[in-house]
Structure 1
Amino acid sequence: MAFVGLSNLSRLRRAWLTAIVAALLCLAATALAVAETKSLKGVALIIGQSNYLHIAALPNPANDARDMAKMLTDLGFDARSVTDRDATKLKRDLERFTEDADGADVAFIYYSGHGIEAGGENYLVPVDADVPSLKDAGTSLVPISAVMEALKKTVPVTIMLLDACRTNPFPADAMVRRSPTASASPIGAGGLEPVRGAKALGNAPAADASLGTVVGFAAEPGHPALDGAAGENSPYASALLRHLAAMKGTEFGSVMRMVTEEVYLDTKAKQRPWINESLRRLLYFGVAPVEPTDDDGLITGERRQLLLTISGLPDPKRAQVELASLQEGVPLDALYGVLKALGTEKIPEDPTDLQKVLDAQAERLRKMMSERAALRTDDPEIKRLVASADKAIGQGAIVTARKFLDDAVGRVEQTNHAVDQAEDLVKQKRLADAAIYARRADASGLVFDYKSAAGDYAKAFSLAEKWDDKLRWNYKNQEAEALNAYGYATGDLDALQHSIDAYRTILNFIPNGEQNRDWAITRNNMAVVLQTIGERETETARLEEAARIFRDSLVVFEREKDDLNWAAAQNNLANVLLKIGERESDPKRLNEAVVAMRATLQKRPREKVPLDWAASQNNLGLALYALSEREAAGEHLTQAEAAYRLALEEYTREKAPVEWAMVENNLGNTLVSLGIQLNDKAKINEAADAFRATLEVRTRETFP
């Protein structure tokens, strides 16, 4: 361990605690021209409170304390661990620790157990605490501020990590008194609050020997933390153990951001740690870990970079990723990994564009997860690489997953020459190889390399074509989808045309030209590509062709009683009619679009698919608004207003903020037109209110 002195405090007012790989070495001396270093002595007290006598027991603090003590010892601390301490023993432990810290440079306390806040004071809860203890909390509990003050007088640097922000273990109406004669205060409902001892030291007197404090909380102030599954570590302890022990030259601020985002991902966004620090020196400690070269080491390395990327994302983007993960049923880690692979500078600022990216990539992730069982190979090396790729994707290490699959494809290509055995063995080999190409194509899609994905799907198709009818259909369909995604993203009309060609190839697989459900789905998908091309052309021929195909598909879906696909095709028909109608002065196509939108709503019942129903209501409003510009005398604006208001009943600000803001904006536009048409000032005022509401979500930062 070592300190680096700061010669110019005004130039670097908030110095983060930092860790390096080599014990007793300082790497920052080159970064700070005037720096003096010295070896440090560190002491640590680890407290685990599990077996409470009168309040709810906690299964994991003892495990947390044992593992944290080992880690801190490995980092060079003189560490002592205690468990299940009553008030007398806990206070004696802390007093002894304060005495032992005399002469040390760093004092480190990790506490895992119950903790409460009342009257602005945080308390550690001994295992013998009960409701009567609250009448004299200063004696029966352990005030944290007193511990911090005592250590501040004894040791230059104090680090306290509190895995104690759990829910209140006492009755909800219980009151706390610091002493029997003190005024009573309620217990904070959401765990601990910022420790008063961790204040900024910018105005500290020169004679103050303290170099500062670091106080870490398992959860944000006012929020409870999770204890974790019984017999394991808490999420906070698990994250500390994973990242604190291998800092390898990374500043402590970055390490704690990794810990914060690790807990955030591990708890599926239910918990985020928080840190309060004020240091006047850069502190280094740690033992150099072996550079990881195995699969897990590579995954962990990319994951740590992912965690730092997540820490820099604004809350609105986080909310969109969390919602997409929840709605699509894919890992939050993997979705964040997709955005990191895209590059933070390329993440769409427009929430609507970001939603499109998240939806498309979530679909790819869901497909990859559902097809894991389909991969069969007798090559142990390929099995290992594919298993590591799956693990990497689950951890959000998308680039590393792509590397594993590159290696797997390399292994496939090395062994291709050996496939000269019996027909059954050849079939198994070809299908296994095709699955590897398809898996790499899936990974390419996750990093937005749709062109490479299409090439690998084409290769998978060529390998599976003569062996498995279902797989050849699947791979060719995925090739068509990847070509469509590439063409849509880049405007490459050749790619879009190749996508149409791929769908036509699929249609040839249908025996005897039968117009069945598969025929209708394939043509419907092909029509979507035609619509994309048509929207980029001045002529409407492609749009008209798409409309004809959607109508043909509707006949089949109606016959097959497939309401879900019927509603999707009808919605597509309505959208393409709207695009055609916007280009024509005759309102005929716009009227047809309105009819088609209303027909869609008949097969999208609100009680079964509320968000799809709301989307169709919004689309209906758009069609009616466009129609009002052609037929101003009608009731179209009033009907559009009603459609938007219905959509807002499901697109609430809490449940779907981006869609809510979009519909509010559409509603505002309609109210303006309606107010002008009716000479109704109240409608204009309502429009202004709608726009103001929209701006609360569409801020300059998110919708510049």
Structure 2
Amino acid sequence: MAFVGTSKGNLVRRLAAFVAVLLCLAVSVAQATETKSLKGVALIIGQSKYDHIAALANPANDARNMAKMLTDLGFDARNVTDRDAAKLKRDLERFTEDAEGADVAFIYYSGHGIEAGGENYLVPVDADVSSLKDAGEALVPISAVMDELKKTVPVTIVLLDACRTNPFPADAVVRLAPTASAEPIGAGGLEPVRGAKALGNATAEDASLGTVVGFAAEPGRPALDGAVGQNSPYAAALLRHLTAMKGTEFGSVMRMVTEEVYLDTKAKQRPWVSESLRRLLYFGVAPPEPTGDDGLITGERRQLLLTISDLPDPKRAQVELASLKDGVPLDALYGVLKALGTEKIPEDPNDLQKVLDGQAERLKKMMAERAALRTDDPEISRLVASADKAINQGAMVTARKFLDDAVGRVEENSDAVDEAEDLVRQKRIADAAIYAKRADAAALVFDYKSAANDYAKAFSLVEKWDDKLRWNYKNQEAEALGAHGDTTGDLDALQRSLKAYDVILGYIPNGEHNRDWAITRNNKAAVLWTIGERETDTAHLEEAAQIFRDSLAVFEREKDDTNWAAAQGNLGSVLLKIGERESDPKRLNEAVAAMRATLEKRPRDKLPLDWASAQMNLGFALYALSEREPNGERLTEAEAAYRLALEEYTREKTPVQWAMVQNNLGNTLVTQGIQLNDKAKIDAAVKAFRAALEVRTRETFPLSWATTRLNLGNALSGAARFEIGTGALEEAAAAYDDALTVFTRRRFPMDWASAQNNLGSIYQTLGQRTQDVARLEQSVAAFQAARQVYVRRKFPLDWANCYYNLGNTLMLLGVLSDKPDYYDQAVGAFRDALREHKRETVPRQWALSQAGLGSALSWHGLNNGDAKDLSDSIAARRAALEVLTAETAPVDWANAESGIGTTLLNLGNLERTGKYLDDAEAAFTATLKVFTRESLPLQWAGQQNNLGDVYWNRGTNGGGKADFQKAIAFFENAKQGYTEGGVTMAIPLTDKKIDLVKQQMAKM
């Protein structure tokens, strides 16, 4: 329902001195004893299915239920729903006719409505924005309806139920007629109806005994609609209290309705009534009152509602604040004050606050302990449930009666319980063992969720009977929850695991920092570590690291080498995770040191599997550190550590660990293969990832599966360097897409960003090979998506890598789209990358970003004819070559040399000089150490073409026929390389160059 309007003037909030309408069969005239039968007619309107504005869920339900209630009360009630303007007006006209001769006319309206210019309008279901231009015809003014009813009916009652939103545009205006002045739609609820007169203004001759107009909310304020499929708060309160008054004055009834809505909506909504009755009225015989427990609760709640209606606003505000602050029901707090007695409620706000705070704390404690109550006596269960219901509704006296009866029932049965207690203890322990055994079996097949549930059940059975078993089962529950969360990414399971460990820590006497304390906190830290890996913030990782450090001190004191080594290894792994996000390699060096220390406590001959675990962790730390160093020594050490681990971790004995090492080894091999241009290494990496996926299936280990799919995509991307087509690239893109089905941004933001970044690189290469601008635009979008997570403050290196990758794509877009602006953007992207790619912390990435900047400046300078850009390009690439060497990064080194040579040629052409040709030739010739015809025919062909350009320039700048002949020879070599590489599209351009050289030779 939706009435919207603005508030004007002072509003009456309560029904003080209300002349009453009573729920009986007769009408009584004041100061007279005569009674007579009362005739009442009612029209109930529910508007839900609007055609052009927002539909409403509940009005049809409200109307149907109100019609039944009024019929039960003796009214001749008619219910209509979803009426357009014509039908709604006919309904009201017919009702006005039917009401003539009746004693009471009752209208209930639930639906959209608006207020404008002091008039309230009902909105038919066919209304739209154009209806506002002639509101007198297209909408239904309420005052006109009431004016007609007052002429023929002694008592008119109109109850208007409205919802919270204006269905029309905020700036819409209303005209009563097309030529009338425009009025804005009010922003709140309805206004007082103009047809209602104050009691003192009525004359003795006036045929009307008065009017009651009820609003679902105070004038100028919207009302709530309630849950879908139920009743609005206002309708629900009317249905609850109008049906069962039996002699209670109508003013009291409506005060009950008002406070019922107030409580039900947690003080968000309070109904309002305008009345001008001059007689006492009694309606029909009320339907049966609630009986049993509900009857007792309802009776006391009605008294509570009347008590609340008399409380002044300042005291209401204090009760509302206490309810909100302490999270206890508003109804219950008012019930507490009623139990105290209104005459004893402190007048001083501070004293009242103390009372409210104290009782709110007791209510919280009762609510918290409610779930702990267990009984097999159905009568006690009923009484306790009724007591809870009574407390929630503020019926404190009734609640105590229920609990008195429950205690009496308990005392009757106490002797039998004592006799059975020892048998119960034995039975509980035996039952718990069965649950634990099933949990063990579930964990063996990696169904950690089921295992956790069974361990929890076992714990609940023994908690009060056996201290040792409760510790054991709760610990196993925590471990299973942690394992489930780790393998599936279920954050709720991880949080429950933390809470389970906190329960265990509470069992340690006097909070002693003993060995059990250290082991439990160590396990808890492992869960914090798992959570921290999935977050962009490092707070949980830092907390885990500190716990591991605290554990080390205890294990050192206890001379517990096994647990000391476990804590040390965990500390190294957490430091590694933190270090990966920082520019400074300090934490990574600390992680490597921690892993090496772990190996000293885990000798292979005594602890072969622990030794293998330490080797695996050492390899991972060395791999991460290798990214901060220019040479490949750390990668070689990492590979060696992984291969040692595989000597103990075999697929037959330890399949999960074996697959993990295969995955990590694959990452190392990919990086080595790319740096050294070693196809065999990359092929070995692909093989390792495919092997890992035989164990890391999506069904059993979804997160591990997604990680390995992501890594396989990286390996396939590296393998694509040695292929001409796009097969490996397309397979890599599919692998990244698979990973993204698990790594959603909400649950795994960093993994999601990593997959987006890698996908961007794949689209970049696909766009380059297929000359497809759309693919390059996809690449840009993927890098920009990754940067939504990789913000500089939290992930400086990942942020810089995104800009580096973006710069390469923008350069390609500039070439393929012939839009120079892309070159400007590329230069900016590489300069951003260099803000975090520092030579002293990440030398290799710094060198690659310098080389990328050099390439972007070269394109930018060539496009703009800017010699300075070309000179800066050469300087940037030469800086990169201070780190990139032919031995440690052959392909990147050769690309930088080739870029220098190309830029020197372009600079010479721009300055019309041949002085750069020797340096250009030297650069191109140097690349042939890496770009060989056998291994990389396309790159070799490119350098042959470049050398041809050098000698062509020499010949053109005063050289002889010998230079032109060498140029032709190099161009012929290039054609052969293009043919062998499968890129025949470059041959026509090379043939054209040969023809031009021959033409120049002919003129000599």
- Calculate the TM-score normalised by the size of structure 2: 0.41
**Structure 1 unaligned residues grouped into runs of 5+:** 1-11, 429-465, 470-509, 518-559, 561-704
Partner of 1:23: 25
* Residues 193-246 of structure 1: per-residue CA shift (max 9 Å, x gap): 000111113232332211110000000000000111111110100000000111
**1:267-346 correspondence runs (5 A):** 267-290=265-288, 292-346=290-344
* Residues 449-494 of structure 1: per-residue CA shift (max 9 Å, x gap): xxxxxxxxxxxxxxxxx9899xxxxxxxxxxxxxxxxxxxxxxxxx
How many angstroms apart in 2 are the aligned matches of 1:54 and 1:514?
A: 68
Partner of 1:422: 420
Distance change (3 Å), C-alpha of 1:179 and 1:172: same
Is 2:69 aligned against 1:66?
A: no
1:412 Cα shift?
1.1
* Residues 101-137 of structure 1: per-residue CA shift (max 9 Å, x gap): 0111100000000111100100000011111110110
Distance change (3 Å), C-alpha of 1:384 and 1:16: same
1:191 Cα shift?
1.5
Partner of 2:46: 48
Is 2:401 aligned against 1:399?
A: no
Partner of 2:483: none
How many angstroms apart in 2 are the aligned matches of 1:281 and 1:92?
A: 31
**Structure 2 unaligned residues grouped into runs of 5+:** 1-14, 427-463, 468-505, 514-549, 551-1004
* Paired residues of 2:25 and 2:37 also in contact (CA < 8 A): no
Is 2:183 aligned against 1:185?
A: yes
The amino acid across from 1:104 in the alignment is A
**What is the aligned-residue identity percentage?**
83
* Paired residues of 1:49 and 1:113 also in contact (CA < 8 A): yes
* Paired residues of 1:329 and 1:366 also in contact (CA < 8 A): yes
1:15 Cα shift?
4.9
* Paired residues of 1:19 and 1:284 also in contact (CA < 8 A): yes
* Residues 470-524 of structure 1: per-residue CA shift (max 9 Å, x gap): xxxxxxxxxxxxxxxxxxxxxxxxxxxxxxxxxxxxxxxx99995879xxxxxxx
* Paired residues of 1:385 and 1:407 also in contact (CA < 8 A): yes
How many angstroms apart in 2 are the aligned matches of 1:241 and 1:422?
A: 49
3-state SS of the aligned residue for 1:402?
helix
Is 2:238 aligned against 1:236?
A: no
* Paired residues of 1:115 and 1:166 also in contact (CA < 8 A): no
1:427 Cα shift?
7.5
Q: Which 4+ residue blocks in structure 1 deviate beyond 6 angstroms?
A: 466-469, 510-513
* Paired residues of 2:46 and 2:81 also in contact (CA < 8 A): yes
1:418 Cα shift?
2.8
* Residues 23-75 of structure 1: per-residue CA shift (max 9 Å, x gap): 3476xx8xx65343221110000000000111111110000000000000000
* Paired residues of 2:243 and 2:286 also in contact (CA < 8 A): no
Distance change (3 Å), C-alpha of 1:425 and 1:329: farther
The amino acid across from 2:188 in the alignment is G
Partner of 2:145: 147
3-state SS of the aligned residue for 2:200?
coil
The amino acid across from 2:247 in the alignment is G
Larger helix share, 1 or 2:
2
3-state SS of the aligned residue for 2:371?
helix
* Paired residues of 1:116 and 1:165 also in contact (CA < 8 A): no
Is 2:245 aligned against 1:212?
A: no
* Paired residues of 1:306 and 1:340 also in contact (CA < 8 A): yes
- Choose from 406, 411, 420 the match for 1:408: 406
How many angstroms apart in 2 are the aligned matches of 1:511 and 1:275?
A: 59
Partner of 2:124: 126
How many angstroms apart in 2 are the aligned matches of 1:71 and 1:513?
A: 62
- Choose from 31, 34, 37 the match for 1:36: 34
Partner of 2:105: 107
> How many residue pairs are counted as aligned between the two chains?
427
**1:582-601 correspondence runs (5 A):** none
Partner of 2:85: 87
3-state SS of the aligned residue for 2:262?
helix
* Residues 370-399 of structure 1: per-residue CA shift (max 9 Å, x gap): 111211111111111011111111111111
**1:174-573 correspondence runs (5 A):** 174-290=172-288, 292-424=290-422
How many angstroms apart in 1 are the aligned matches of 2:129 and 2:108?
A: 25
How many angstroms apart in 2 are the aligned matches of 1:254 and 1:230?
A: 30
* Paired residues of 1:98 and 1:150 also in contact (CA < 8 A): yes
Distance change (3 Å), C-alpha of 1:69 and 1:514: closer
* Paired residues of 1:302 and 1:400 also in contact (CA < 8 A): yes
Moved more, 197-206 or 185-194: 197-206
Specify which structure has the bigger relative contact order, considering alpha-carbon pairs within 8 angstroms and separated by 6 or more residues: 1
Bigger Cα Rg: 2
* Paired residues of 1:218 and 1:273 also in contact (CA < 8 A): yes
Partner of 1:436: none
How many angstroms apart in 1 are the aligned matches of 2:289 and 2:134?
A: 52
* Paired residues of 1:420 and 1:426 also in contact (CA < 8 A): no
* Residues 158-180 of structure 1: per-residue CA shift (max 9 Å, x gap): 00000025431110100001111
3-state SS of the aligned residue for 1:111?
strand
3-state SS of the aligned residue for 1:422?
helix
1:287 Cα shift?
1.5
1:17 Cα shift?
2.8
1:288 Cα shift?
4.1
RMSD after superposition: 2.7
* Paired residues of 1:168 and 1:191 also in contact (CA < 8 A): no
Partner of 2:586: none
The amino acid across from 1:354 in the alignment is L
* Residues 567-589 of structure 1: per-residue CA shift (max 9 Å, x gap): xxxxxxxxxxxxxxxxxxxxxxx
**1:570-585 correspondence runs (5 A):** none
How many angstroms apart in 1 are the aligned matches of 2:280 and 2:416?
A: 59
How many angstroms apart in 2 are the aligned matches of 1:13 and 1:261?
A: 14
Moved more, 52-61 or 419-428: 419-428
* Paired residues of 1:164 and 1:218 also in contact (CA < 8 A): yes
How many angstroms apart in 2 are the aligned matches of 1:468 and 1:254?
A: 58
Distance change (3 Å), C-alpha of 1:206 and 1:426: same
* Paired residues of 2:136 and 2:177 also in contact (CA < 8 A): yes
* Paired residues of 1:63 and 1:233 also in contact (CA < 8 A): yes
How many angstroms apart in 2 are the aligned matches of 1:18 and 1:512?
A: 67
* Paired residues of 2:62 and 2:231 also in contact (CA < 8 A): yes
Partner of 1:605: none
How many angstroms apart in 1 are the aligned matches of 2:310 and 2:512?
A: 50
1:290 Cα shift?
3.7
3-state SS of the aligned residue for 2:21?
coil
